[in-house]
Amino acid sequence: GDSVTQMEGPVTLSEEAFLTINCTYTATGYPSLFWYVQYPGEGLQLLLKATKADDKGSNKGFEATYRKETTSFHLEKGSVQVSDSAVYFCALSVRTGGFKTIFGAGTRLFVKA
Amino acid sequence: DAGVIQSPRHEVTEMGQEVTLRCKPISGHDYLFWYRQTMMRGLELLIYFNNNVPIDDSGMPEDRFSAKMPNASFSTLKIQPSEPRDSAVYFCASGPLAGGPASTDTQYFGPGTRLTVL
């Protein structure tokens, strides 16, 4: 079945460090891929998305590229800030036989000043 | 648009009591989802609706949980009777846009209801 696997956290970085959070997926159709972010005490919100192979999603300095050959959608940011501390969820959605979204387990990021 | 609205934001109740969580989705969205989030189990999909019809309720833990969507602008999740292990944050989400392309397949989450069952 469809699934999403992302690296376990927590990830702890110093401010201005480079961030990578790995995400791989398994899907039978042609999924769209997403990164959602959850700040403390809030619901998830869309960070970025890509709907087809080789697309790059970007927002707020974060980027991820849809790699069909490696079934991956790794999240990167060149220089993290304390305000980036949150939980990050990788997800896929497919429209075969209806609409379905599968979320990864989430990766908690702590950024130290 | 005000986004997805959930009420109450916090609920504290005693074991055995009935709990009703409410959700107003974003206007125009075809789908509505109910999730539960705990530290131990992470984010779990409980049930989702398409055009007010329940499509998949396989995530509903047991018969104590029920969900309804009487119209396009309102949904409820009810727990009766509640138990301490039901303590969690419950999220409602809506999306995607009705009839939109795959590029619109984004879910919009409400702020959640934090439920504590004593």
Average pLDDT taken over every residue of chain A: 93
Bigger pLDDT: A65 vs B62 = A65
CB contact (8 A) between residue B55 and residue A98: yes
> Phi, psi (5° rounding) for residue A32?
-90, 150
For the residues A33-37, what does the mean pLDDT come to? 96
Nearest residue of B to residue A37 by CA position?
B109
**Using an 8 Å Cβ cutoff, are A98 and B55 in contact?**
yes
A80 DSSP β-pair partners: none
Residue of B4, B42, B50 with shortest CB distance to A105 = B42
B12 inside 8 A of chain A by CB: no
CB contact (8 A) between residue B42 and residue A49: no
pLDDT for residue A50 is more than 70: yes
**Binned average pLDDT, 10 residues per bin, chain B of 118 residues:** 92 97 93 93 92 92 94 97 97 78 79 97
Buried b / exposed e across B64-92, counting CB within 10 Å, b at 16+?
A: ebebebeebeebebebeebeeebbbbbbb
Residue A47 has a CB neighbour count (10 Å cut-off) of: 20
Chain B residues near residue A95 by CB distance under 8 angstroms: 102, 105
> Phi, psi (5° rounding) for residue A74?
-75, 140
